[in-house]
């Protein structure tokens, strides 16, 4: 039955509005990356962000909420596109009560929303409740009026949420639930009901009544449910499913929102989509088209929320999604990196509800493009290898573990994709052999790639080791202990000298790479051993140090950890300079500036920000001056922990898309009258004076609307300054100045000549050379320059201009001279004076001047000249007024002639020119002049 609401956006909105009217706070979707929740990689349900509220420990002031939650589940990734219901990314509509309304309201409202707001046919809805939940049964049966034959009493796997949690976990809030099913009427078998797996009855809404805290089952396996003493509501309705119902389609991918993405994949691949076909090649195409759409949508949201492709954890899931999508679109016949083109369709379809995906779409596109291209570099060879291997295996049931291993390690194929591909040929991977190769590989190699595929001892120990306290803002040596030493992915009690190890410390002075600041390096020394620390990464709080055992054997136990303090000092100078740069950009370009990323290293810094256009040299100078001024003023740098609200009130700058806890660390430069205030966990100087100097090296675009500044501070800036002093001396010599001490002068000259400072000397030299050459050729005397540096350079430019003009007019004169001779070749054709000629090597400009001068010499003339100068062929046409009136326009003639031989051009009716790629066809074009003239005269 048609509903007034139809599109996905309308349905999402109507749900939130309906529950807002019931007193639920419309709360934003949580990030796809759960904060402070190490138990899950991605948000999988609407209730994830409210776990604590159900337990009575939450901090929200409200007791009712409603959301449309972004969710990602990858456990069923192999089914995506094959079935009508699976996705990786999907949206869950939910309404929640935190010890407020309970079963009666939850059920009545769900029913009212479905049957009154969406106008669904009540006779097509059936219900399940938990076997012992008489209360829910009664409400459905007696209050709503659902007949007993459409209410089903089921057990823990169907009607407890999380399913089977009482006996199998996980721990956390849970309770009985009641599910609402829609009858798609795909068959009319009276025995079919919601417990059968025909796909006719589809669960659309799950109403959960969390009233327990699920604990680890008792020793005998019996449930351990702790009564919360609170009655909560958690509901979840798959948006894609309910849209199927309302829109009258069966497959989730056929709803308006997903179709708009599928259509984009169809456009790019040129492959047809036909959802009515369930078998054969078209069905296989449907699967690929749906899967690519699903994955690009998921990737768009992951990257937007900050999960970038990587080798571990969330990053690896994103990488796998991109690789799977690449393989799929490749199968669809697209052999170049084009997945990023699909992002626009996702943004168009969903930015109304999730504006962040529009704000970060450039990042998503760039990430996808780079990652797809990187995978594609080995894809061809991988596919060839796979093809050959499959041929060799014809008729076999087991696929070689060696081949699978090589595809994974060398070509980056996700293992489950190989399993899928060989599965299509009826084979399974030789797991035993694969594992042997794998173990050998991890024992000999210590590349990060290992982490992709196996979980290492450190990763397994993460829950036990917990987060590593950072005790190194002051970069002092720290007495601590190695709590776990890892060699080749395994925990060891000893690692010999020369080996590459990874290890965890009880507390660490090493700053792990984060917030754009690079990892520290340094030394870890224990009884009789020394490890040179080369890298340091955070894995959900656990800091994993990597290094080389220089003296050994290294052992777990007491050590002294020492950061390379000089390098750290250079890093802090660059980090503090980055904050000043951020502030300076806001001052100079406007308050729309937001940080889009940064990289702080010991030798330089990089800062990305949004700005619609590039900066002018004057703006760059202004920014640089502002920063240097603040450095010289010597502002104190104050570092303070404070509640996030307070930080926001103070106007501290946060990084776009970054997650912050309730307590934040705020860096303020100049506490009295702040010159910069930012949220930041990184390392900083105590006084801006320590930064010493700041120079911008480069300003460039990285993506549409995103600019990048590369700059240096401290020692690096001083080195650059001395290099620039050398350049200034060189420039001074060139223009005959005694000295150019003021660095501003170089900027002024760079602006005058519109080149970067570093290219100034080269440019001046080149201009001077041209000037002397021209003066020699034209035999004119140069006028000598004097005055200031800028005046001298202005003079140089003016002289050059004068000489160039002089040469041009000389050329024009000689063109006029040589063209006189051509006038002898004018012929009469159908009452028209016509001149057709091919000239020896005049360039486009010379040819134009020639046509111009010849045309002016006759009262009535049509002339067509062709010339070939060094492979660049040109046609030029000139027509006098009287002939234009007879239908012979130069623009039209040159256009048609050029197009007949693959060129392009046009122009005014009097004079027009065209470039032609193939000079050898000029004769052909000239031969076409007369027939064309006839045609135009008649037409
Ligand atoms: N939390 C419940 C689910 O995910 C609503 O199904």
pLDDT of residue 40: 66
pLDDT at 656: 54
Q: Which of 818, 829, 807 is nearest to 888 (CA)?
A: 829
CB 508 within 8 A of CB 561: yes
Kindly state if the Cβ of 175 falls inside 6 Å of ligand 1.
Answer: no
Q: Which ligand 1 atom sits closest to the C-alpha of 236? A: 5
Token reading at 409: 């390690």
Residue 548 and residue 531 in contact, taking contact as beta carbons nearer than 8 Å = yes
**Confidence class for position 655, pLDDT limits 50, 70, 90:** low
| Interval 249-300: pLDDT, tens | 999 999 999 999 999 999 999 999 999 999 999 999 999 999 999 999 999 9
From CA 771, how far away is CA 737, in angstroms rounded? 19
Q: How far is CA 212 from CA 161, 223, 233, 911, 912, in A?
A: 10, 11, 12, 87, 84
Q: How far is the CA of 44 from the centre of ligand 1 (A)?
A: 9
**Backbone conformation region of residue 748, classed left if phi is above 0, alpha if psi is from -120 to 50, else beta:** alpha
Give the number of the atom of ligand 1 that is nearest the alpha carbon of residue 47. 1
Angle subtended at Cα 204 by Cα 7 and Cα 23, rounded to the nearest 5 degrees: 75
If you average pLDDT over residues 467-472, what whole number do you get? Answer: 93
Q: How far is CA 807 from the centre of its chain?
A: 52
691-717: average pLDDT: 88
Ligand 1 in reach of 409 Cβ (< 6 A): no
Q: What is the whole-number distance in angstroms between the Cα of residue 214 and the centre of ligand 1?
A: 15
Question: Given this model, what pLDDT does residue 489 score?
Answer: 79
Tens of pLDDT, residue by residue over 730-779, are: 898 888 888 777 767 887 888 889 888 888 999 999 999 998 888 888 88
More confidently predicted of 35 and 391 = 391
Nearest residue (CA) to ligand 1, atom 3: 236
**Does residue 102 register a pLDDT over 90?**
yes
Ligand 1 contact, 161 CB (< 6 A):
yes
**Nearest by Cα to 735 from 771, 759, 767, 764:** 764
- Ligand 1 centroid, distance to 132 Cα (angstroms): 20
Which of 220, 222, 186, 372 lies closest to 295, judged by CA? 372
Q: How far apart are the first and last CA of the chain?
A: 62
Question: Is 497:503 a contact under the CB 8 Å cutoff?
Answer: no
**Residue 837 structure tokens:** 């000629």
The helix/strand/coil state of 660 is coil
Longest dimension (CA), the chain: 114
Residue 339: pLDDT over 60: yes
Q: At what angle do helices 617-633 and 565-589 cross, to 10 degrees?
A: 130
**What is the rounded distance in angstroms from the CA atom of residue 273 to the CA atom of residue 567?**
57
The count of other CB atoms within 10 Å of the CB of residue 213 is 20
Give the integer Cα–Cα distance in Å for 27 and 39: 23
Cβ of 47 less than 6 Å from ligand 1 = yes
In 3D, which of 384, 822, 363 has the Cα closest to residue 595?
A: 363
pLDDT at 294 (0 to 100)? 98
pLDDT of residue 450: 27
- The rounded Cα 371 to chain-centroid distance in angstroms is 9
- Residue 108 C-alpha to ligand 1 middle, in angstroms? 18
**Residue whose CB lies within 8 A of the most ligand 1 atoms, among 235, 237, 238, 240, for a mutation test:** 235
Of the spans 659-663, 741-745, 827-831, which averages the highest pLDDT?
827-831
Are the C-beta atoms of 237 and 206 separated by less than 8 Å? yes
**For residue 447, what pLDDT is reported?**
37
pLDDT in the model for residue 184: 96
Percent of the chain with pLDDT over 90: 56
Please tell me the predicted confidence (pLDDT) of residue 39: 54
Q: Per-residue pLDDT tens for 509-526?
A: 999 988 889 999 999 999
For the CA of 92, the closest atom of ligand 1 is 4
In the predicted model, what is the mean pLDDT of residues 889-893? 94
Please name the residue that has the structure tokens 């930015």: 351
pLDDT digits (tens, 9 = 90+) for 198-252: 999 999 999 999 999 888 777 777 788 888 889 999 999 999 999 999 999 999 9
Confidence band for 409, pLDDT divided at 50, 70 and 90: confident
Q: Ligand 1 centre from 165 Cα, in Å? A: 13
Cβ-proximal residues to 644 (8 Å cutoff; 6+ apart), any chain: 660, 661, 662, 663, 664
**How high is the pLDDT of residue 429?**
92
The atom number, within ligand 1, closest to the CA of 235 reads: 5
Of residues 800 and 221, the one with the higher pLDDT is: 800
Nearest to 580 by CA among 642, 637, 511: 637
| Å from CA of 22 to ligand 1 middle | 20
- What's the pLDDT band for 657 if we cut at 50, 70, 90? low
Whether residue 598 has its Cβ less than 6 Å from ligand 1: no
Asked if residues 707 and 597 have their Cβ atoms less than 8 Å apart, the reply is no
The least confident of 32-46, 272-286, 856-870 is: 32-46
Q: Residue for token digits 């912050």?
A: 660
Which atom of ligand 1 sits closest to the CA of residue 208? 5
Contact 699, 707 (CB under 8 A): yes
Number of neighbours of residue 778 by Cβ within 10 angstroms: 12
- Contact between residue 444 and residue 450 where contact means Cβ atoms under 8 Å apart: no
Distance, CA 207 to ligand 1 centroid (Å)? 8
Integer-rounded Cα radius of gyration of the chain? 37
CB-CB contact of 522 with 563 (8 Å): yes
**Cα 72 to ligand 1 centroid, rounded to whole Å:** 13
Ligand 1 centre to CA of 23 (Å) is: 21
Quote the ligand 1 centre to 933 CA distance (angstroms).
78
**Ligand 1 atom 4: the closest Cα is on which residue?**
45
pLDDT at residue 4 in the model = 66
State if residue 309 touches ligand 1 by the CB under 6 angstroms criterion. no
Average pLDDT rounded to a whole number, residues 65-80: 91
In a mutational test of the pocket of ligand 1, which residue from 66, 87, 92 has the highest number of ligand atoms less than 8 Å from its CB?
92
């Amino acid at each position: 039955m048609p509903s007034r609401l139809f599109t996905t956006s309308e349905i999402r909105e109507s749900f939130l509005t309906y529950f807002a009217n019931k007193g639920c706070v419309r709360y934003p979707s949580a990030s796809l990356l759960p904060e402070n929740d190490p138990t899950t990689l991605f948000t999988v349900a609407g209730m994830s962000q409210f776990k604590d509220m159900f337990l009575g420990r939450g901090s929200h002031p409200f007791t009712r909420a409603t959301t449309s939650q972004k969710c990602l589940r990858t456990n069923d990734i192999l089914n995506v596109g094959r079935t009508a219901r699976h996705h990786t990314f999907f949206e869950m509509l939910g309404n929640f009560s935190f010890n407020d309304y309970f079963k009666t309201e939850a059920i009545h409202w769900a029913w009212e929303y479905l049957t009154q707001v969406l106008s669904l046919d009540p006779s097509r809805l059936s219900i399940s409740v938990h076997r012992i939940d008489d209360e829910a049964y009664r409400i459905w049966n007696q209050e709503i009026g659902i007949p007993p034959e459409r209410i089903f009493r089921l057990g823990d796997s169907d009607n407890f949420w999380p399913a089977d949690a009482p006996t199998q976990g996980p721990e956390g809030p849970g309770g009985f639930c009641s599910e609402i099913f829609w009858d798609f009427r795909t068959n009319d078998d009276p025995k079919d009901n919601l417990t059968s797996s025909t796909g006719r009855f589809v669960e659309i809404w799950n109403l959960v009544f969390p009233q327990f805290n699920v604990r680890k089952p008792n020793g005998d396996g019996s449930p351990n449910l702790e009564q919360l003493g609170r009655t909560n509501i958690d509901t979840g309705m798959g948006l894609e499913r309910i849209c199927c119902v309302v829109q009258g389609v069966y497959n989730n991918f056929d709803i308006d929102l997903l179709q708009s993405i599928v259509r984009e994949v169809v456009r790019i691949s040129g492959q047809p989509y036909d959802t009515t076909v369930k078998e054969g090649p078209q069905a296989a195409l449907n699967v690929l088209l749906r899967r690519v759409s699903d994955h690009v949508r998921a990737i768009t949201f992951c990257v937007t929320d900050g999960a970038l492709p990587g080798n571990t954890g969330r990053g690896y899931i994103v990488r796998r999604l991109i690789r799977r999508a690449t393989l799929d679109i490749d199968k669809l016949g697209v052999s170049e990196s084009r997945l990023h083109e699909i992002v626009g369709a996702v943004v168009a379809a969903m930015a109304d509800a999730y504006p962040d995906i529009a704000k970060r779409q450039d990042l998503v596109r760039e990430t996808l493009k780079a990652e797809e291209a990187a995978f594609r570099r080995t894809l061809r060879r991988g596919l060839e290898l796979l093809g050959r291997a499959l041929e060799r295996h014809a008729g076999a049931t087991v696929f070689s573990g060696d081949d699978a291993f090589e595809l994974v390690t060398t070509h980056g194929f996700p293992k489950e994709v190989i399993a899928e591909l060989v599965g299509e040929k009826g084979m399974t991977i030789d797991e035993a052999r694969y594992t042997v190769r794998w173990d050998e590989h991890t024992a000999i190699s210590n590349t990060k790639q290992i982490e992709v595929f196996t979980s290492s001892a450190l990763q397994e120990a993460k829950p036990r080791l917990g987060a590593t306290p950072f005790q190194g803002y002051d970069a002092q040596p720290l007495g601590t202990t190695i709590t776990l030493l890892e060699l080749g992915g395994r925990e060891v009690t000893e690692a010999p000298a020369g080996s590459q190890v990874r290890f965890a410390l009880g507390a660490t002075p090493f700053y792990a790479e984060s917030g754009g600041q690079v990892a520290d390096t340094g030394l870890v020394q224990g009884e009789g051993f020394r490890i040179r620390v080369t890298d340091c990464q955070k894995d959900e709080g656990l800091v994993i140090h990597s290094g080389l055992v220089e003296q050994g054997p290294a052992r777990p136990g007491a050590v002294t950890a020492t950061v390379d303090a000089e390098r750290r000092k250079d890093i802090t100078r660059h980090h503090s300079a980055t904050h000043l740069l951020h502030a300076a950009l806001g001052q100079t370009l406007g308050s729309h500036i937001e940080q889009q990323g940064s990289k702080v290293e010991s030798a330089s810094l990089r800062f990305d920000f949004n700005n619609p256009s590039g900066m002018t040299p004057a703006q760059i100078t202004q920014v640089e001056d502002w920063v240097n001024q603040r450095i010289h003023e010597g502002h104190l740098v104050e570092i303070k922990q404070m509640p996030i609200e307070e930080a926001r009130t103070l106007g501290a700058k946060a990084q776009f898309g970054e997650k912050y806890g309730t307590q934040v660390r705020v860096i303020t430069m100049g506490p009295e009258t702040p010159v910069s205030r930012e949220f930041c966990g990184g390392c900083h100087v105590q006084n801006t004076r320590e930064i010493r100097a700041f120079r911008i090296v480069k300003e460039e675009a990285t993506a549409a609307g995103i600019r990048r500044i590369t700059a240096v501070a401290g020692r690096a800036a001083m080195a650059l300054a001395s290099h620039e002093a050398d350049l200034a001396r060189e420039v001074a010599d060139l223009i005959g100045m005694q000295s150019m001490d003021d660095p501003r002068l170089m900027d002024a000259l760079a602006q005058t000549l519109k080149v970067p400072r570093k290219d100034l000397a080269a440019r001046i030299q080149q201009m001077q050379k041209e000037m002397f050459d021209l003066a020699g050729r034209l035999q004119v005397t140069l006028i000598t320059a004097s005055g200031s540096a800028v005046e001298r350079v202005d003079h140089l430019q003016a002289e050059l201009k004068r000489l160039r003009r002089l040469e041009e007019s000389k050329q024009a004169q000689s063109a006029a001279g040589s063209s006189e001779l051509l006038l002898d070749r004018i012929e009469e054709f159908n009452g028209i004076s016509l001149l057709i000629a091919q000239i020896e090597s005049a360039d486009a400009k010379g040819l134009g001047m020639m046509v111009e001068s010849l045309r002016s010499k006759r009262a009535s003339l049509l002339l067509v000249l062709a010339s070939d100068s060094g492979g660049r062929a040109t046609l030029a046409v000139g027509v006098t007024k009287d002939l234009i009136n007879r239908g012979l326009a130069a623009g039209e003639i040159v256009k048609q002639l050029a197009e007949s031989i693959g060129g392009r051009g046009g122009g005014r009716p009097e004079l027009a020119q065209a470039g032609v790629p193939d000079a050898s066809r000029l004769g052909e074009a000239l031969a076409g002049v007369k027939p064309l003239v006839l045609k135009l005269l008649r037409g």
